[in-house]
Chain A
Amino acid sequence: KQEVTQIPAALSVPEGENLVLNCSFTDSAIYNLQWFRQDPGKGLTSLLLIQSSQREQTSGRLNASLDKSSGRSTLYIAASQPGDSATYLCAVGANTGNQFYFGTGTSLTVIP
């Protein structure tokens, strides 16, 4: 079974700092990988989707990379803002796309 780990579990940074969130997975036979943010008590908002054949995706201040062979993905957030405070989750799609496995998330606090 695919195991997904996110490190660190929590992160606190001052506003304006660049930061990296990590996601690792045990089975490299993946369908795709998606990063989400979740605000307290809310559903998930999609941030970036990386197909299994891609190495990275960018959207605004966010950049996600994927290294399938080493079982790792990173989410880079540039010039962090207090509004970025949320829990960030990565989800790995099984090879058939029928199941997705989530990490436990990284809780980010950006201090004004």
Chain B
Amino acid sequence: QVQLVQSGAEVSQPGASVKVSCRTSGYAFTGYSIHWVRQAPGQGLEWMGRISPNTGATNYAQTFQGRVTVTRDTSLTTVYMELSRLMSDDTALYFCARALLLPGYYYPLDVWGQGTTVTVSS
């Protein structure tokens, strides 16, 4: 079955970087974009960016431009999200999710990973 399995919880210091992985299985990896969405404690959902696994092309939310990098390893069908220059406000639950990838249209997020808790603390 379709699965997105994320790496485990992370604790990082302010100013450091964190890299979260999203291992996919059960579907055609290059047929779906992978998006990253985060949720701060007690808050709503915030879209961070996406990658098209076929080309490696990325799009990022303006809020995270220059701090977030999304990459993929097609041989491992895995996507990575790295967030740099961490601040305490980056403490959140980070989700990956897939959306169908076809030109000219954007699609809903139909399957989600289980989430990865990132805690930024000194």
Note whether A and B form a binding pair. Answer: no
Interface residues of B (CB under 8 A from A): none
